Amino acid sequence: MKRIEMPGFIKPQLATLRSKAPSGLQWIHEVKYDGYRVQLHLDRGKAKAFTRNGLNWTKRFSVIAGAFDISGQAIIDGEVVVVHEGRTNFSELQAELARGEQDRLLYYAFDLLWLDGQDLRKTPQLERKAMLQGLFDTYQLEPPVLFSEHVTGDGQQLFERAAKLNYEGIISKRADAPYRSERGEAWLKVKTVQREKFPIVGFVKDPTGVAALYLGKQQGKELVYMGKVGTGWNRTTSAQIRKALDTVVSPKAKLTKPMRKPKATWVEPKFFADVEYRDITSEGLLRASSFKGLSRK
């Protein structure tokens, strides 16, 4: 291969959402990490870290960038995470960065786009991962940088294991595919979700129904605020929810700790929202929530 000049930021390859993982020897499968996508550019002792949108976050991730102590050039694709209670946790990562700290940050490297003057983007996926593993082995790289392991074949089995462990999901990749800076079918993501019923403590009106529902949760004798949900219904369902909640309107919130929500219409917690959500933030609020149904207490 002809040696060429090292490029700047490379637009990342993105995965397409699917409801079921593929199977077959042409696929490899990795755990989906709940963190920040970060592209590392290493050039003879100098390092830069870019977000998925090309922002230079080298200062924020200087410890990780410095941990890739290699003598040559490389562009590595991966995810910065914080592991909390046995799994990657986006809320804990946000809190760590907000404090300006890096002690808990880990970097899972899952792709190699460039190595010592060679553009590897046309090289098959499995070969790129083998070269990335070789880079880790050659330089004996250690945490906070880690090689993202994969399995071949039955992705659904890995997905079911990931779901039991409350991981975000898995990424399935065509073993023979090149790296393309786009969202396509060569990378597929299958997400796990959590589902629970929460008492509705209030709502925001719209002309014919509801714009959002405020949710609570009973914790011992306290009814605590869990955030809001604003997606998952059509116009008809929205009107039905509004009709039900209008029957239990309350002059004040029934939450143990009062809250100021200027647009809120408070209700007695007689109805429950069945909600799918991705996670609970460090502030104790639902993340990426979606309404699935309404039931009466």
CA distance 275 to 47: 43
The 3-state secondary structure of 106-148 reads: EEEEEEEEEECCEECCCCCHHHHHHHHHHHHHHHCCCCCEEEC
Question: Among all residues, which ones are annotated catalytic?
Answer: 32
CA distance 261 to 267: 13
Q: Which residues contact 251 (CB under 8 A, 6 or more apart)?
A: 266
The three-class DSSP label of residue 221 is coil
Cβ atoms within 10 Å, residue 217: 19
CA distance 185 to 194: 26
CA distance 152 to 23: 8
Q: Which residues contact 134 (CB under 8 A, 6 or more apart)?
A: none
CA distance 15 to 261: 37
Which 8-state DSSP code applies to residue 13?
Answer: P
CA distance 245 to 13: 44
- Residue 144, preceding bond cis, omega within 30 degrees? yes
